[in-house]
Amino acid sequence: MELLASASRVLRTYPLGETSLIAVLLTRERGLLRAVAKGARRPQSAVRAMLEPGAALDAVLYLRPRGLHLVKELSFRGPLPRPASDLEALALRLAPLELVLLTTQEGEAPAGLFDLLEDAFAADAAAGGIGWAAFFAFEAALLRVHGLGFELAHCGLCGRSLDPSRLRFLPGEAQFACPACGGEGLDLAPASADCLNAISLVRPSALAGRPLPAPVRRQVGRVLHLALSRHLPGYRLPRSLGMLGPARDMTAKE
């Protein structure tokens, strides 16, 4: 069996049998891996406290050619995320983990994905919560990591330069369009267009903790939800965001 030592981030765990856990890890070296942590649910297990969603670990795994890998050793690579200050902060911390899990196949490691998730957690730690602007930057960057970044400079249909103050979004195509082509589309407020421009350029940590006015949050959240739904296989609205209730439901109509 091959031995792998890699910086890792815990995406989630599942119980296995009476006393074990399956840990789903995003590893720097090999992307998403599922590994059995034997006995991790025993009360005296030292590993139990490490396998929290979002925990930054150094993992040593036995890689098996098929089936689940095995955890050999785990150690903390950094402190556990501090307890979230409220439900929204918790949801925005869990959502990036869930998005990576939904949109990444076992053994798949798109270049930049590990560093992107690290950056999201750096933003969370720096600002006492990642905040909506940085979370949206994470979603935009997730599209870029998969080669699906969105085009805001030119109309997706006719190719003309776009005026950021007169931007439309076509839900069916999930593209930005000029007023002439995007007549049926969603009319984006200038503040939403500004936000979309900002998040398409920077890493999440550059916008750490920055709040967004509710109308911008709803509109940009909806655009990103539609773009991710249309373009990124496996994507669906994270359950963690769903728990914020209909007021935060990005699928809701304006």
Please give the residue ranges that form the binding site for Zn ion (CB under 5 A).
155, 157-158, 178, 181
Say if CB 107 and CB 33 are below 8 A apart: yes
At closest approach, how far in Å is the CB of 154 from Zn ion? 8
- For 197-214, b/e burial (b = at least 16 CB within 10 A) is ebbbeebbbebbbbebee
Q: How far is the CB of 178 from Zn ion (least distance, A)?
A: 4
Q: Quick one: 36 or 186, whose CB is closer to Zn ion? A: 186
Between 94 and 188, whose beta carbon lies closer to Zn ion?
A: 188
Nearest to 224 by CA among 130, 154, 167, 143: 143
Burial of 70 (0-12, 13-18, 19+ CB in 10 A): middle
Instruction: Provide, rounded to whole angstroms, the least separation between the CB of residue 156 and Zn ion.
Output: 8
Q: Which is nearer to Zn ion, 85 or 197 (CB)?
A: 197
Q: At 174, list the tokens.
A: 């999930």
Is the CB of 44 or the CB of 161 nearer to Zn ion? 161
What are 6's two structure tokens? 């890699």
Sign of the alpha-carbon dihedral angle for 205, 210, 50, 64? negative
Nearer to Zn ion, 114 or 150 (CB): 150
CA 29 to CA 50: how far, in whole Å? 20
Q: How far is the CB of 93 from Zn ion (least distance, A)?
A: 39
Q: 126, 118, 133, 6: which is closest to 62 by C-alpha?
A: 6
Q: Output the smallest distance, CB 162 to Zn ion, in A.
A: 8
Q: Which CB, 2 or 163, lies closer to Zn ion?
A: 163
Distance, in Å, from the CA atom of 163 to the CA atom of 229, rounded to the nearest integer, reads 25
Kindly state the smallest distance separating residue 153's Cβ from Zn ion, in Å: 12
